[in-house]
Amino acid sequence: MATVIFCNIAWMEYYMGITDSDKPHNGGSWVGESNDAMESRNFQPYQDNCYGYVQQKGYTLKLERLDKTAAKADVLDDVTVVWVAKGEEGSRIVGWYEKAEMYRECQEFDDGSCYYFITKAINAYLIPVKKRDFRMPRASQAGKGRGMGQSNVWYADSDYAKSEYIPQVLEYLKKLENTVAITGLSNEDNGDICKHFK
């Protein structure tokens, strides 16, 4: 089974930078006050890659939660990153990375922004808003180990997550692969995004 991690980020339509018509929201107090979010470019290809950020307390990710042999590793390969955000109808899966590298420490760009995940742009799928219909449970309601808790990162390493929830998610993503193109945009949506950023 794939190595899967769930990351909660602010809600946006395209995640290709902040524009007048696409601003991050439901991303916590800092996002609300600053109208900014480092994850705002999670699906904007740069040199054929996509770079993913999630706000994490302590600024480190626990690779060993996904792979016990990675306790001393700085990077973990071949990770499926499922991006989750809260929209008007609750928390939904908004996209995912396949075959991603996951770093323990945030990797910085020259401009001070940083990322925890990197994948080829052809392995990054952004789900159009109208197709974001897979609900993400919250542990406070579903129970411990059955959804995301207060942290923005859920390692989904409970028996329930491994045996039941993750297989459901992977089946859902597999069905979507045929309806989305590079960085999750269908041909129709690709036309829209070009108009959006002109």
What's the pLDDT tens digit per position in 12-54? Answer: 999 999 998 999 988 665 555 556 688 999 999 998 999 999 9
Alpha-carbon gap, residue 176 to 124, rounded angstroms:
12
The answer for residues whose C-beta is within 8 angstroms of residue 177's C-beta and 6 or more apart is 125
Tally of domains in the chain = 1
Residue 148 is encoded by which pair of tokens? 């995301």
Q: pLDDT per residue over 86-114, tens digit each?
A: 998 899 999 999 999 999 999 999 888 99
Residue 75 is encoded by which pair of tokens? 């990077």
Question: What confidence tier does 165 reach under pLDDT thresholds 50, 70, 90?
Answer: very high
Range of the domain at 167: 3-196
CB-count exposure of residue 162 (10 Å: 0-12, 13-18, 19+): middle
CB-count exposure of residue 120 (10 Å: 0-12, 13-18, 19+): middle
What's the DSSP call for residue 109?
Answer: P
Place of tokens 């995912």: 96
